[in-house]
Structure formats: structure tokens, C-alpha cells
Amino acid sequence: MKRALAALTVAAFVTLLVDVLAAHRPAYAIFPAGVFVLAATFGFALVETRAERWPRYAYIVLLFPLGGTVFATSGASVGATLMLVVLVSQTTLLLPMPAVVAVVALVPFFHAGMAFAEGLREGLGLLAAAVFAAVLTKLLMREQSARAQLREYATQVERLAAAQERNRVARDIHDGLGHALTVVQMQIKAARAVLASQPERADEVLAKAQDQAEEALREVRRSVGALREPRPAVPLPEALKALAAETSAAGVTTELSVTGTVRALGPETAESLFRAAQEGLTNVRKHAGASRVELTLDYSRPAAVRLEVRDDGAGTAGEGGTGYGLLGVRERATHLGGRMSLESAPGQGATLLVEVPG
């Protein structure tokens, strides 16, 4: 907008110059116009960067009579009228609306020296041009402000998306890699325990540990690349059955029960429940000291699916759920409009509950 006003100011000066020369007016009429051009370009650039209001008011107070002088000495030429349009536009850019209204209302009085009928006609025309300039400038200002706000919103959305992606990758690392390494650790412990007495059994357990280590490596590659490879499209009950078998093989007997009529779930819903079961079983193996786990997938509610991970371990006092893995479970459930809770009591085990729409 500032460049457009500068170009309009120069065009107005050239037009005035042509008008003055064509009408054989005195050459001194050009000098006020030259001063106006310098003030409207360099002076405007100086005051628009000032945070204080008074330099802006002072600038307009000086530019207004200068514009009137140009208008009078040039015989109300077209170029002088364009300079007054520049004056109104700059006032709109620099000052609040009451000051703009005052300048717009005073501009037509530059025709006061003419005959009444002619002055009224020309004054109304100049008033219309001034109002149009003020309205157009205000609209352009609003458009620029809206564009700047949209750019800010776009930046905020980009930052939020980046934060969400970081959280997603962190959850995937914890849920996938953490689970796999926990299983590897448990299987290696089991292999060491039977290595001397049952070498064949130890070899079998170590083979499973190797498989888990390879799965962990695949999880690392997916997470580091920030590209989520979707899990194979296995029905949730079957995926949970594999998790239960995995936990049982690691030394904690795990039984899966499915209640209600099994129905298809959305990918996010199934992923959320699978990761919740994975985290719950990982915590049981790492912290609970349990010998048995009951994993329940409940479809009996018409608009929700519930998952429970209940163990017979040591338990803790009060409600848990502050670990990073459980935080990820809670975030996934909340994102889907569901909820997560963890109930535990000393000597009575713990129950992880996740319920999501589905």
C-alpha cells in the first residue's frame, strides 16, 4: 500500500506539472507541489515507524495546508486533487477515525474561493473522492491485517502440528520399543534361569528374544523416520490374543476374554486400545510382580468399547497413572473422546481401564 501511495504521489506531481505547463500558469506553482511530494514520501516513511501519536498528528497538520497551497496555486488541477487523495489516504493510515473524518470534512473547503454554485459542485465532487479514498484505504488496511492474522494462525497451526507429531513419535517409541525391550529383558532372564538345566528351553526363549529385538529395531526405524507404518490390518481381538501369548511366554500368565458382539472399529480406536493393552501388560511385567493378568475387551456397550488390564500383583496406594507411557494412553483416549483410569491398592493388584467411543 505504501508503494502504491508513493507511485500515486509521483503520478499526481507529473499530472500537475503537465496541467501547469498546458495552462501557462506561473512556474512557482510547481514548487509547493515538489515540497508536497518530498513530504508525502520521505516524511511519511519517518513518522509511520514512530509509536508516539504526536509526530503523526504534526505531520498531517503540516501536510494539510501544504496540500491546500498546491490546490490553490495550481488552479484546482487534477494533479492537485490526486495529492489531496494521497493526503486523505495517509491520514487514514496514520490517525484514528475521528481525525480522518475531520480531514475528509475539511478538504472540500479548498473550493471556498469559487462562485457558490461551482464551488458547491466541485466541493461535493472532492468530498466524494476523499470519502472513497478513506474507505478504500481502510478496507485495504483490514485486508492486510487479516492476512497477517492468517499467517500467524498458519504459524501456530504448524507449531501445533509439529508438537503433536513429536508427541506421537514419543508415544510410538515408548509403546512400541519400550514394550519390545521389556519382553526381550524378561525372556533373557528366563533363558538364563534355565540355561544350565534346560539348554533346549533356553534356546527357544532366546530365539523369541531375538524376534522381539528385531521387532524393536523395526520400531526404531519407523520412529526415527517419523513415518508411521500402520500395523497389519489384524482384528483387534487377534492382536490382543498375540499380546497375551507374548506376555504369557515372558512368564506372566495372561488370559484374554472378549465380551459382547465383536464389531469393526476405526483405525485410531483400534490403535488406541491396542497400545493401551500393550502399555498395561508392559507395566505388569516391569513393576507389578504379578503371576496372572486378565485382559478383557468389552463390546457390550452400544456406543463404546472398554478395555481392562487387571493383575494380581503388589499394587500401590491410591490411583496411579503418572508415568509417561500411561500419559500416552490417556492422551490417545482423550483425543478420541474417551477416558482412562488406573485403580490400585497395596496387595490387591491394579486395574487399567480405557473406554473409547466405537
| Contact in structure between 98 and 92 (CB atoms under 8 Å) | no
Percent of the chain with pLDDT over 70: 83
pLDDT at 297: 94
Note the pLDDT tens digit of each residue in 79-124. 888 888 888 998 888 889 999 999 889 888 887 767 777 767 777 8
Higher pLDDT, 176 or 41: 41
pLDDT at 168: 64
Note the pLDDT tens digit of each residue in 65-87. 988 888 888 877 888 888 888 88
pLDDT at 73: 81
Separation of alpha carbons 70 and 68, rounded Å: 5
pLDDT at 232: 52
Kindly indicate the confidence band of residue 34, based on its pLDDT and cuts at 50, 70 and 90. confident
Which residue do the cell numbers 459542485 mark? 121
pLDDT at 44: 86
pLDDT at 353 over 90: yes
Q: For the chain, report the end-to-end CA distance as a whole number of angstroms.
A: 53
Question: All 3 cell numbers of residue 339?
Answer: 477416558
Kindly indicate the confidence band of residue 255, based on its pLDDT and cuts at 50, 70 and 90. very high
pLDDT at 33: 86
Residue 106 CA: distances (Å) to CA of 64, 103, 112, 114: 9, 5, 11, 16
Neighbouring CB atoms inside 10 A of 188's CB total: 17
pLDDT at 25: 72
pLDDT at 227: 44
Note the pLDDT tens digit of each residue in 210-222. 776 766 666 666 5
